[in-house]
Chain A
C-alpha cells in the first residue's frame, strides 16, 4: 500500500553459491563474535523484534556468512541484539552480535550483507566488539511531532511537563498491569518549535536493564492533557533512535 518509502530490489542473478564460498573459508580455532551496527528505517519500523530476528537470520544465510551453530538437538545460530526496538520506532544505531566460525574480514561481511538487504535495513559497520551489551544504560531519540496545534506555547508546556519528578503511567507486562513513574527513566528532555509546524524533541531514555519505550512520552502527553487526543488527520509523529550510551554517558558501540 505504500509507495513513499524507499525500497530497492535485490534479485540475485547468478546461482553461484555464497554458501559454497563460506565452506571454503579458513575455519577459526574458536568461534568469534562480530558486532553489526545497522539502521532500521522506513517500512521496516513496523515489524516487531521477532520479525527482525527472522529477517536477520535469512539475510545472514543469503549472504553466506559462516555462522557458528550451537551443538545439541536443535542447532541454531547465535544472534544477540543489544536492545529491542519497539514497533513504530526507526533507528540508526542498532547493534547485533553474531558468532562466526570461519575467517572472514569485517569489510566483507558488511558488503555481503548489504547486497542482500533492502535500503531500509542497512549495515553501517561490522567490527569486533570491545564492550558488552550489559554496559548499555541509555538511548537517545529524536521525536518529531507535526500537529496543527504546534506552537511555541505548546512547546513550553511540553518542556514544563517533562521537567516534573513524577509522571505516572500504566505499563502492561506479562504478569499484568503495573504503574510506573516514567520521569525517573527520562535522563534528559528538550523540545523545540520548528517553523514548519513541527515540534522537535530530543530525549535520552533509560535503556538496557530497564528500557523506556519513547512512545510512552507521547502517550503521557495525551494522558495528562498536554496534547489533544490522537487524531489521524491533525497530527502525526515519527521517532528515531539515534545513539546508545553507556553508564558514563559515553556513546556506546
Chain B
C-alpha cells in the first residue's frame, strides 16, 4: 500500500495536496473518540486549506476530548482517475481512513458552483448521494456556510444543515449524537428529529414537505412534526470576544491561496448594500474588542509563523476600534517584519493617515469597489460612495507613488441603463485623468486602471431577491457595449463569463426540484465547476432540462411581491418586510443610512448580540 501510494503520488500533479502531515494538524488516538468528524471542503486543497470557517470549526470540534475532526478536500481530476483505477476511496487527511467510516461528514458550502464537487466527493466515498438512501451505517451528512441559507437545490443530498454560526451549534449537535449513542437511543431518524428540536439552527429537510403551485413557485413548506420549528432560525454567537477562536491552524506544506493569519475582526456589516447577501445574513454586527484581537493575532503568529496578517471582515474601516487595533498591532508587526493587510477598505475611508500608518496599505495594490458607474445606480444599490470619494481616495494613492488601481463593478443591476455602463467607462477615465492631474504622481511608470466587471446575481435574503438576472444574451451585449466604450490602452477591462453567472443564479434561487438536475450532473461526472477549465454551460442546460426544469424560471424571472421563496423556510434574522422596503427604495434610487448613523429596523436585533450597533442592545457601540 505504501509503495503503491508513492507510485501514485509520483504520477499526479502537486502530490503534496494529498499527503497530509502539515504542522498544526490534529492527530488523536482513536481510542476514546466517540464521534469522528470529517470536515470536507468541496474544492481543491489549496483553496480549502485557507478557509477561515473550516479552521474555526476544526479547532472547536477538536477541543472536545472525545471528538476527532479531520479534513478532506476534492482530489484533483488526475488523482481521481488513479483512485478509480485502483479502487481507492476518498480518505481524510489526518488518519487516512475512508470517509464512509466516519460518524459525521460535514461540507462547507461557500459557492453554488461547488455543489457538484460535494456530490463528487460523496461518490468517491461510496456514500449514497440521496439522504433517503442512506442506512444506519452511513455517516450523517451535514452542510453549512453561506449557501446553506438557500440549501434547497442540494437539500435531498443532505441529512441536515447548520444554519448560521457553528462554533456552539455544531458542538451541541455532536454532543447530542454522542449522548444518543451512549444511551442506545440513536437511530438516524430519531437523531435528526432531536437535532431539529435543539434550537441550534439545524434544518432537517426531510422533516419539511414542499408543495408547489401550478406556476411552479413554492406553495408551502410544511413541517412533518409539531415539535420542530416552522422556520429554522439561524444560530449566532452573541459575544465574539468569548467565542472560540483557534490559537493554532493547519499550516500548509504546499502553496495555498491565502498564506496569512486571518484575524476575524467582527461579524456582520452596517452598510446594507442591496445586492450583498453577506451583509444581510451575518447581521447583526458583533465586534471583538481590540485587546482581544491583538492577543489572538500574536498567538496565531507564534503558532504558525505566517508573516502576514489579514484583518478580515466585510468592511474593515467600519470597525469602531480600528485606530486602537492598528495602534496595538503596528509596533509589534513592524518589529517582527509582519505585513499588516487591510482588505475590504471602503473608498471613503482610504485616507493619507491610514496609508502612512499601515505599511502594507502603502505597498499593496489598491482595489476599490464602486460597483456601479453612476451615482443614480450607486444609490439604487445603496452603495453610498460618491465620485468625489473615489477620486479623493485614488489621489491619496497617487500621492504616495502608486500607479495601479483596480476597480470592481457589476453589471445587470435592477434599473440599469446603458447610461450606467457609460458611467463605468467614464469613471475609469476620470481616475486616469486624476492621475495625470496629480502633481506628486510617479512619473517613472505608466498608470494602469483595471476594471473588473462581474454579472449581478440576485441572491436570497437580499432586497434584490425578487429580481431577475439579465439573460445571458443581454449580459453579453452589455459586455461588448462596455468594451466598445473603453478605448484608452491604459484601461484594462476584465469581465466574468455570463454563462457561469447564469447557472450560479439558477442554483442561488433554486428549489428542491433541482436536485434531480444535480443528480444527473453527478452521473455525468461534473466536477470543479468553479474552474473555467471544467465548467461546461451546454452540459448544465442539458441536465437541467432533462430534470424537467427551465433554468430561466429560476434565474431570469422576476418574482411576484407575495411569492414564497424556497429559502423562506429559513430565518436569517432580517425580516422579509425590511427587504421589501429596501427594494422599493431602490426603485426610487433612495439610499438607506448605515447602522452607525441610524437604525433601519431590519429585525436582526431580535437575535441579540454583544457590541453591536443595534439600539438598546447591551454594550451597544457608539
Contacts and interface: CB of A to CB of B under 8 A. Distances in A.
Nearest to A146: B3
A43 to B, nearest CB: 3
A11 interface: yes
A7 interface: yes
Contact of B18 (A1, A9, A42, A120): A1
A82 B182 CA distance: 57
Contact of B96 (A4, A9, A69, A75): A4
A62 B27 contact: no
Interface in A212-232: 230, 232
Interface residues of B, number: 53
Given A11-B248, A46-B15, A87-B15, A18 B93 contact: no
Contact of B20 (A12, A43, A58): A43
B2 interface: yes
A1 B96 contact: yes
Given A17-B298, A69-B337, A232-B86, A47 B96 contact: no
Contacts of A43: 16, 19-21, 253
A11 B303 CA distance: 8
A61 B307 contact: yes
Interface string B333-368: 001110000000000000000000000000000000
A92 to B, nearest CB: 17
Contacts of B304: 58, 62
A61 B305 contact: yes
A116 B301 CA distance: 13
Contacts of B436: none
Interface centre among B5, B248, B305 (most CB of A within 10 A): B305
Interface in A123-153: 146
Interface stretch (A24-32, A48-56, A160-168, A172-180): A48-56
B87 to A, nearest CB: 12
Contact of A17 (B85, B93, B302): B302
Contact of B253 (A19, A47, A232, A236): A47
A87 B306 CA distance: 23
Contacts of A230: 7, 11
Contact of B11 (A18, A54, A232): A232
B21 A62 contact: no
Contacts of B85: 232
B21 A2 contact: yes
Contacts, number: 135
Interface centre among A69, A117, A118 (most CB of B within 10 A): A118
Interface centre among B10, B259, B304 (most CB of A within 10 A): B10
A69 B337 CA distance: 8
B253 A9 contact: no
A3 interface: yes
Interface in B20-56: 20-27
B19 A1 contact: yes
B19 to A, nearest CB: 3
Interface centre among A1, A2, A12, A50 (most CB of B within 10 A): A1
Contact of B336 (A19, A54, A232): A19
Interface in B63-92: 75, 82, 85-86, 88, 91
Interface of A: 1-5, 7-12, 15, 17-19, 23, 42-44, 46-48, 50-51, 54-55, 57-62, 69, 75-77, 87-88, 116-118, 120, 146, 230, 232-233, 235-236, 238
Given A59-B23, A232-B4, A232-B82, 17 more contacts: A1-B91, A5-B21, A10-B23, A11-B24, A15-B299, A19-B301, A43-B20, A46-B19, A47-B253, A51-B16, A54-B259, A58-B307, A88-B10, A116-B23, A118-B21, A120-B21, A238-B6
23 contacts: A1-B88, A1-B96, A2-B18, A3-B97, A7-B21, A7-B27, A12-B302, A17-B298, A19-B301, A48-B254, A51-B16, A58-B251, A61-B301, A61-B336, A62-B303, A62-B304, A77-B337, A87-B15, A118-B21, A118-B23, A232-B4, A232-B86, A236-B7
